[in-house]
Homo-oligomer: A and B are copies of this chain.
Amino acid sequence: MSLENLPKAHLAPVVALAPVRELPPPVHTDLSTEHLHPSLEDPALNSMNFLNEVANHYPDAVSLAAGRPFEEFWDLDELPRYLARFSEYLRDERGYSEERVRRTLFQYGRTKGIVHELVAANLELDEGVSVDPESIVVTVGCQEAMVLVLRALRSGPKDVLLAVSPTYVGLTGAARLVDMPVLPVASGAAGVDLDDLLTQIQRARTAGLRPRGCYVMPDFANPSGVSMPETTRRALLSLAREEDFLLLEDNPYGLFHGDTRRVPTLKALDAGRRVVYLGSFAKTVLPGARVGYVVADQTVTASDGTVGLFADELSKIKSMLTVNTPALAQAIVGGKLLEHGCSLVAATRREREVYAANRTRIVEGLAARFGEGSRVSWNVPAGGFFVVVTVPFPVDDELLTRSARDYGVLWTPMYHFYDTGADGGDGVRSLRLSCSTVNAAQIDTGLDRLARLVNDELARKQGAPVALTRAGDLS
Name A's B-contacting residues (CB within 8 A). 1-10, 26, 28-41, 44-46, 48-49, 68-69, 71, 74-76, 79-80, 83, 87, 101-109, 128, 140-141, 143-144, 147, 151-155, 159, 170, 173-174, 176-178, 210, 212, 234-235, 237-238, 264, 268-269, 271-273, 282, 286-291, 298-303, 307, 310, 313, 316-317, 319-329, 332
Contact = CB atoms under 8 A, between A and B. Distances in A.
Given A7-B237, A317-B177, A326 B329 contact: yes
A176 B147 CA distance: 14
Contact of A32 (B2, B128, B300, B324): B300
Q: Which has the most chain B C-beta neighbours within 10 Å: A28, A128, A322? A: A322
Given A30-B300, A83-B80, A140-B140, A321 B321 contact: yes
A361 B237 CA distance: 62
A80 B335 CA distance: 14
B40 A316 contact: yes
B36 A152 contact: yes
B325 A290 contact: yes
A154 B179 CA distance: 11
23 contacts: A3-B264, A8-B234, A10-B238, A28-B273, A30-B300, A31-B299, A31-B301, A33-B301, A33-B303, A33-B313, A35-B212, A45-B319, A49-B316, A71-B107, A76-B102, A76-B105, A79-B105, A105-B288, A141-B324, A143-B323, A174-B320, A290-B327, A328-B329
A319 B49 contact: yes
Contacts of A9: 238
A289 to B, nearest CB: 6
A79 B328 contact: yes
Given A30-B298, A36-B152, A152-B36, A176 B320 contact: yes
B177 A140 contact: no
Nearest to A42: B316
Q: Which has the most chain B C-beta neighbours within 10 Å: A101, A140, A286? A: A140
A2 B37 CA distance: 47
A337 to B, nearest CB: 15
A106 to B, nearest CB: 5
Contacts of A74: 102, 106
A277 to B, nearest CB: 14
Contacts of A300: 30-33, 36
A218 to B, nearest CB: 14
A288 B34 contact: no
A390 to B, nearest CB: 28
Contacts of A320: 39, 44-45, 143, 147, 170, 173-174, 176-177
Contact of A269 (B4, B80, B83, B210): B4
A83 to B, nearest CB: 6
A21 B77 CA distance: 54
Contacts of A237: 7
A83 B26 CA distance: 43
B288 A109 contact: yes
A271 B10 CA distance: 12
B29 A299 contact: yes
A76 B290 CA distance: 21
A30 B273 contact: yes
Given A32-B301, A299-B28, A173 B271 contact: no
B108 A68 contact: yes
Contact of A328 (B108, B173, B332): B332
Given A28-B272, A287-B324, A321-B321, 8 more contacts: A1-B268, A34-B155, A36-B155, A40-B317, A79-B80, A107-B287, A174-B320, A289-B326
Contacts of A4: 269
A102 to B, nearest CB: 6
Contacts of A10: 238
A38 B316 CA distance: 12
A301 B80 contact: no
A410 B266 CA distance: 45
Given A4-B269, A106-B287, A30 B299 contact: yes
Contact of A3 (B28, B170, B269, B291): B269
A170 to B, nearest CB: 6
B39 A317 contact: yes
Contacts of A288: 104-109, 324, 326-328
A108 B434 CA distance: 16
